[in-house]
Amino acid sequence: MLELHGVSRSYTTGDTVTEALRNIHLTIRRGEMVAIMGPSGSGKSTLMNILGCLDRPSQGHYLIAGQGTADASPETLAALRREHFGFVFQRYHLLPKLTALGNVEMPALYAGHAPAVRRARATELLERLGLQAREHHRPPQLSGGQQQRVSLARALVNGGEVILADEPTGALDTASGMQVLELLQALHAEGHTIIIVTHNPDIAAHTQRIIKISDGRIVSDQSTGQHGVPRSLVRNNNATLPRSAWWTVADRFANALHMALLAMAAHRLRTSLTMLGIIIGIASVVSVVAIGQGTQRQVLAQISELGTNTMEIYPGKDFGDPYAALIQTLTVADVHALATQPYVDSATPNVSLDVKARYRQLTAQAQVSGVGADFFRVRGLALADGRWFSNDDVQRAAQVAIIDQKTLSTLFPHRRGDALNAVILLGGLPTKVVGILESKSLGATRNANLTIYIPYTAATTRILGNQSLESVIVRISDRISSKAAQQAVTQFLTRRHGVKDFYIFNADQIRQAITKTSAALAMLITAIAVISLVVGGIGVMNIMLVSVTERTQEIGVRMAVGARPSDVMQQFLIEAVLVCVMGGIAGVALALVLGWMVTPGGSYGLRMVFSLPSMVAAFTCSMLIGLIFGFLPARHASRLDPVDALARE
Ligand code: ADP
Ligand code: MG
């Protein structure tokens, strides 16, 4: 059944080459029980590893049931191990986190048996090996003999046509050793092929054939004369297979998930610290996006109050013209002329002038703005006290004023309560204070001057000498499209001034400008977020590499019982993704809590608007981080050499 033709195996460590096996010719028939003996370091384990497809010959050919293994891929070798071989190691190599039952089931899982089938088979085997009361114990809670019986059950769960036992009794007391030997003999009687490495001549004497090797060569190969004739030949248990591929994949996925959770639970502090990086990254992305959306929505709401049928005209060639302040051609006469145009509903000038403001003994330089009644709404200003002035006030050129907080504290330092309805002098003009602006209104803090608003009619007719304007608000007739009106206004004013020394802003343009600005801001934020997530991802990668190193032996055991490289890869990828996804969920939750704390009070002027797409995106992002940064460690794990991995302590 197993044939070695001229097999050699050499190890290269640095400059030295160790010849562990030299030109071995060996045939083992189905149903034989063979003992391999020899001094330590003679190459017994190397031979077993090659026989069990854990290792490959450096030279020569190895045939299983007549089929060559030279060109087999790691996946095919894993399949051979699953289907034909069962390993029993001197040090048991059970996974300490799984129960006895879990350990025994593992090879069946990789072989693709249904959960119920593999559980039943594992339970049956454990019972047969006298471990029925120990199914739910973990290896550290079992004695050496019991652990070795669990590992024997593991070797048998997929059929175990060929049992490869490398010094199975080496770590056991005599009684337990004899028990294991008896079990192996019973299995042999049932038709299993048994190959056992041992130092103990008593044990070897119970086999049919003793092969002695020394220094990598077979020095003797003798029959002991024992004839344990097999009663029946073991059939491959895989006959009961296969289920649909989809189920098998889902099943293995569920198990990998379970293992990932166990691994994470075993290192809670480490896992949560790694997660923290992702949590902070995701939480900051989600909340910054929410703040951006909140602010944008707020500003856009203010703009939409303007309505699409208003526009503002400013002096200057374009927005940001440095010479705008010197252009004095936009005048009250323009406003009157505009008002007579058929497409204009109303035109309101904004004028501004520096005057001395005075209340009783106190005087201060103030900027007086003459505005229309719409101005405050358009600018989104808010009142702390009093009232706005009305259209009626504007028509009558009423001597009423609305002052800002700075004016309030300058002119009424000790008697803030007196301000409302007090009469102040603005460049000599007595004016009654009817309203006080809220300090935090948008635009109110824009300049450092004291700012006082009066009806523009009062400003132009009662104070102003200079007739040039700061801006003109034009309300367009309902029937006219804003685009047509804007063209008409541009033409009309250009003809009046001779040159185009003004520019027009309408609500749409402002909206566009804001959207553009916030898009640029979003890009910036995204860049920062990506950096923070990359940092988090590197943390994940780092921890996963540590995890792979720590669990190298586990990986070796899994490979020995038939896990494919892809199974190992999947397991570590799932772990990385799980850490990231859990971090992502926690990050989104943290952002929501932040939003909940900030939004209702609005005390920082912040408003957070959470959108489902942004949260879904954050979640997807964290998953991708897991995949990307988990890939390298997972691939590293899947490419480990099974023999090396097993040998690692
Ligand atoms: P045995 O099991 O008979 O004690 P082994 O098969 O483990 O012997 O080892 C045979 C020889 O190969 C020894 O000299 C050992 O030092 C060497 N050897 C085994 N594994 C490795 C390895 N991974 N790298 C280098 N040398 C090794
Ligand atoms: Mg050995």
Q: What are phi and psi of 191, to 5 degrees?
A: 110, 0
Instruction: Tell me, using a 6 A CB cutoff, whether residue 41 lines ligand 1.
Output: yes
* pLDDT of res. 287: 84
Within 10 angstroms of residue 5's Cβ, the number of other Cβ atoms is: 16
- Closest residue by CA, ligand 1 atom 27: 11
The two structure tokens encoding residue 508:
């749409």
Cα separation, 211 vs 218, whole angstroms: 7
Instruction: Tell me, using a 6 A CB cutoff, whether residue 39 lines ligand 1.
Output: no
- Closest residue by CA, ligand 1 atom 17: 20
Q: How far is the CA of 186 from the centre of ligand 1 (A)?
A: 31
Burial of 521 (0-12, 13-18, 19+ CB in 10 A): middle
Report the atom number in ligand 1 closest to the C-alpha of 647: 23
Q: How far is the CA of 40 from the centre of ligand 1 (A)?
A: 9
Question: Which ligand minimizes its atom distance to the CA of 14?
Answer: 1
SS3 percent helix, strand, coil of the chain, rounded to 5, is: 50, 20, 30
* pLDDT of res. 239: 46
Q: How far is the CA of 482 from the centre of ligand 2 (A)?
A: 90
- Closest residue by CA, ligand 1 atom 16: 41
Single-letter amino acid code for the residue at 137: H
Cα separation, 247 vs 257, whole angstroms: 15
Q: How far is the CA of 106 from the centre of ligand 1 (A)?
A: 28
Report the atom number in ligand 1 closest to the C-alpha of 13: 25
Instruction: Tell me, using a 6 A CB cutoff, whether residue 11 lines ligand 1.
Output: yes
* pLDDT of res. 560: 92
Q: Which value, to the nearest 10 degrees, does the dihedral of the CA atoms of residues 177, 182, 188, 192 take?
A: -60
- Closest residue by CA, ligand 1 atom 14: 41
Q: Any idea where the domains of the chain sit in the sequence?
A: 2-243, 260-300+513-647, 328-498
Q: How far is the CA of 567 from the centre of ligand 1 (A)?
A: 28
Displacement of CA 288 from its chain's centroid (Å): 17
Report the atom number in ligand 1 closest to the C-alpha of 43: 6
Quickly list DSSP for 556-594: HHHHHTT--HHHHHHHHHHHHHHHHHHHHHHHHHHHHHH
- Closest residue by CA, ligand 1 atom 25: 11
Instruction: Tell me, using a 6 A CB cutoff, whether residue 13 lines ligand 1.
Output: yes
Judge whether 332 and 499 are in contact, CB under 8 Å: no
Within 10 angstroms of residue 296's Cβ, the number of other Cβ atoms is: 20
Q: Which 3 state secondary structure label does DSSP give 357?
A: strand
Instruction: Tell me, using a 6 A CB cutoff, whether residue 16 lines ligand 1.
Output: no
Cα separation, 178 vs 192, whole angstroms: 18
Contacts of 30 (CB under 8 A, 6+ apart): 1, 193, 233
Contacts of 579 (CB under 8 A, 6+ apart): 264, 271, 274, 275, 278, 540, 543, 626
pTM listed for this prediction = 0.71
* pLDDT of res. 444: 41
Q: How many residues does the chain have?
A: 649
Instruction: Tell me, using a 6 A CB cutoff, whether residue 18 lines ligand 1.
Output: yes
Cα separation, 474 vs 372, whole angstroms: 11
* pLDDT of res. 302: 64
Single-letter amino acid code for the residue at 611: S
* pLDDT of res. 603: 44
Report the atom number in ligand 1 closest to the C-alpha of 167: 2
Query: Residue 346 half-sphere exposure, CB side, CA atoms within 13 Å?
Result: 9
Cα separation, 504 vs 312, whole angstroms: 6
Instruction: Tell me, using a 6 A CB cutoff, whether residue 49 lines ligand 1.
Output: no
Q: How far is the CA of 66 from the centre of ligand 1 (A)?
A: 28
In the numeric block, the tokens 């703005």 are attached to 369
- Closest residue by CA, ligand 1 atom 15: 41
Cα separation, 381 vs 387, whole angstroms: 12
Instruction: Tell me, using a 6 A CB cutoff, whether residue 274 lines ligand 1.
Output: no
Please state which of the four CATH numbers 3.30.720.210, 3.40.30.10, 3.40.50.300, 3.20.20.70 is assigned to the domain occupying 2-243: 3.40.50.300
Within 10 angstroms of residue 251's Cβ, the number of other Cβ atoms is: 17
Contacts of 189 (CB under 8 A, 6+ apart): 228, 230, 231
Instruction: Tell me, using a 6 A CB cutoff, whether residue 188 lines ligand 1.
Output: no
* pLDDT of res. 229: 52
* pLDDT of res. 293: 80
* pLDDT of res. 448: 63
Average pLDDT per run of 10 along the chain, which is 649 residues long? 91 89 92 92 92 91 88 88 90 90 91 87 91 90 91 90 90 87 89 91 88 92 70 48 70 84 86 90 85 76 66 80 74 84 84 86 88 75 86 89 89 86 90 85 54 88 71 82 86 89 80 78 80 88 91 92 91 92 92 78 61 86 91 94 86
Report the atom number in ligand 1 closest to the C-alpha of 49: 6
The two structure tokens encoding residue 624:
């991708």
Instruction: Tell me, using a 6 A CB cutoff, whether residue 20 lines ligand 1.
Output: yes
Contacts of 600 (CB under 8 A, 6+ apart): none
E strand residue ranges, 398-553: 400-403, 423-426, 429-437, 450-455, 471-476, 502-506
- Closest residue by CA, ligand 1 atom 11: 20
One-letter-per-residue 3-state SS of 411-445:
HCCCCHHHCCCCEEEECCEEEEEEEEECCCCCCCC
Report the atom number in ligand 1 closest to the C-alpha of 166: 2
**Beta-carbon neighbours within 5 Å of ion ligand 2:** 45
Question: Which ligand minimizes its atom distance to the CA of 21?
Answer: 1
Phi-psi region of 225 (alpha: psi -120 to 50; beta: other; left: phi over 0): left
- Closest residue by CA, ligand 1 atom 24: 11
- Closest residue by CA, ligand 1 atom 2: 45
* pLDDT of res. 602: 46
Report the atom number in ligand 1 closest to the C-alpha of 40: 4
Instruction: Tell me, using a 6 A CB cutoff, whether residue 40 lines ligand 1.
Output: yes
Reported as type and span, the H/E element at residue 369 is strand 362-371
Pocket test for ligand 1, best of 45, 90, 195, 199 (most atoms within 8 A of CB): 45
* pLDDT of res. 154: 93
Question: Which ligand minimizes its atom distance to the CA of 645?
Answer: 1
